[in-house]
C-alpha cells in the first residue's frame, strides 16, 4: 500500500469512527425520538440505554489501533452524553438520612426455596417487604418467617406487603389490561403508619414484556402502567410509594404515566434482572412527596430477579 492509499484508508477509518461516535451520542441524547410504532424500538432502546456506554471503549480501542486522533476526540461526545444521563447514578453517594427502608422482590412463582428467600428478605432488616408472584403454596412460608418482625400484612392475588408498622386503608388496585381475566390480581394499596408520618404504598406487578419476531411486545404493560398512573393521580396522599416489578426501566417511555408523577432514586443502578446476569433494573422503588435516596441490588435468591433494597426519606 502506497502513502496515498494509506492516507485514504486512515481517513476512511477516521470518518467511520467519528460517525459511530456521533451515532451513539445521538441515540443517548435523542433516544425519545426513536419511534415506538414499529416493534416498540424506542422502549427496547431505553430499556438497555446505559449499556450504550460499552460502545465507547470499543471505539476508543479501534481509534488507538488505527492511530486515529480524530476518532479518539470523537469518543468524547458519547462519554459526555453518558455522564450527562447517568453520571449522577454512577458518582452520587447515598444520603445517610432516611426514615423508612423497603425491600422489593419478585420472588418467582417457581422458586424452589421459598424459605431461604423469605429468610434473605428478613435479613435485610427492611421496614417493608413487598413481593410479587406469591403463590398460595408459598404464602404460609413467608407468613411464618416474616410474621414476628412484620406482623402487619396484606396479600391481594399474587402481590403482598409485610410491614413493621400498622396498615390501614388496605385495598386491591385493578390494573388489568383489556381482555385479562378477573383472576389476574397484581395490585394493592395500603397506608403505612410510619413513625415519621403516614405513607401510601402501592405494591404492583405489571405485565411481562417479550422480545420476539415482531419486536418489543409491551402493549399490555403500557396499558397497565396507564391504569396505575390514573389511580396514583387521583390518590390524595401527600406521601406515596410505588414498589414492584414494573417490567421496565425508568427510562422506558412506556412507564411515562408513572415516572412523570414519581421520583426515581438519586443514586445506584441496581440492575435486578435477570439474576444470573443483571442488565436492567425493572424492580422499582419510586416516590411522590418522599425522596428515594438510594436503591441497591442484593444477592441472588431462588428467583430470576434480584431483591432491591431502598431507603426513603419522608420529610
Q: Report d(CA 90, CA 95) in Å as an integer.
A: 14
Domain boundaries, the chain: 3-91, 100-313
Q: Find out whether 151 and 122 touch, Cβ atoms under 8 Å.
A: no
In our burial notation (b when 16+ CB lie closer than 10 A, e otherwise), range 14-28 reads beebbebbeebbebb
Topology adopted by domain 100-313: Deoxyribonuclease I; Chain A (3.60.10)
Q: Find out whether 274 and 86 touch, Cβ atoms under 8 Å.
A: no
Q: Find out whether 252 and 47 touch, Cβ atoms under 8 Å.
A: yes
In our burial notation (b when 16+ CB lie closer than 10 A, e otherwise), range 168-205 reads eeeeebebbbeebeeebbbbbbbbbebeeebbbbbbbb
pLDDT by 10s per residue, the chain, length 315: 566 666 777 788 788 888 999 999 999 999 999 998 888 899 989 999 999 999 999 999 988 888 888 889 999 999 999 999 998 877 766 667 899 999 999 999 999 999 999 999 999 999 999 999 999 999 999 999 999 999 999 999 999 999 999 999 999 999 999 999 999 999 999 999 999 999 999 999 999 987 766 667 899 999 999 999 999 999 999 999 999 999 999 999 999 999 999 999 877 899 999 999 999 999 999 999 999 999 999 999 999 999 999 999 997
Amino acid at each position: 500500500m502506497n502513502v496515498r492509499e494509506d492516507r485514504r484508508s486512515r481517513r476512511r477509518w477516521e470518518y467511520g469512527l467519528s460517525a459511530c461516535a456521533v451515532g451513539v451520542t445521538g441515540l443517548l441524547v435523542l433516544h425519545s425520538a426513536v419511534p415506538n410504532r414499529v416493534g416498540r424500538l424506542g422502549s427496547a432502546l431505553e430499556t438497555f440505554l446505559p449499556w450504550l456506554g460499552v460502545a465507547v471503549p470499543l471505539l476508543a480501542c479501534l481509534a488507538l489501533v488505527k492511530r486515529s486522533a480524530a476518532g479518539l476526540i470523537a469518543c468524547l461526545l458519547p462519554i459526555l452524553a453518558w455522564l450527562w444521563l447517568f453520571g449522577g447514578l454512577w458518582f452520587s453517594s447515598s444520603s445517610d438520612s432516611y426514615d423508612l427502608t423497603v425491600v422489593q422482590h419478585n420472588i418467582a412463582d417457581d422458586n424452589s426455596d421459598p424459605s431461604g428467600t423469605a429468610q434473605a428478605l428478613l435479613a435485610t432488616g427492611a421496614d417493608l417487604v413487598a413481593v410479587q408472584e406469591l403463590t398460595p403454596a408459598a404464602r404460609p412460608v413467608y407468613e411464618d418467617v416474616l410474621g414476628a418482625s412484620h406482623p402487619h400484612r396484606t396479600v391481594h392475588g399474587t402481590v403482598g406487603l409485610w410491614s413493621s408498622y400498622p396498615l390501614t386503608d388496605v385495598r386491591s388496585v385493578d390494573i388489568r389490561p383489556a381482555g385479562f381475566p378477573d383472576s389476574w390480581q397484581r395490585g394493592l394499596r395500603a397506608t403505612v403508619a410510619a413513625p415519621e408520618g403516614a405513607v401510601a404504598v402501592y405494591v404492583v406487578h405489571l405485565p411481562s414484556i417479550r422480545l420476539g419476531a415482531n419486536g418489543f411486545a409491551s402493549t399490555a404493560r403500557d396499558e397497565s402502567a396507564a391504569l396505575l398512573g390514573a389511580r396514583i393521580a387521583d390518590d390524595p396522599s401527600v406521601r406515596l410509594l410505588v414498589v414492584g416489578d414494573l417490567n421496565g426501566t425508568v427510562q422506558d417511555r412506556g412507564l411515562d404515566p408513572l415516572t412523570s408523577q414519581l421520583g426515581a432514586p438519586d443514586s445506584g443502578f441496581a440492575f435486578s434482572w435477570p439474576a444470573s446476569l443483571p442488565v436492567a433494573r425493572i424492580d422499582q422503588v419510586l416516590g411522590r412527596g418522599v425522596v428515594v435516596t438510594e436503591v441497591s441490588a442484593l444477592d441472588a435468591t431462588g428467583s430470576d430477579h434480584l431483591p432491591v433494597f431502598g431507603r426513603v426519606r419522608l420529610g
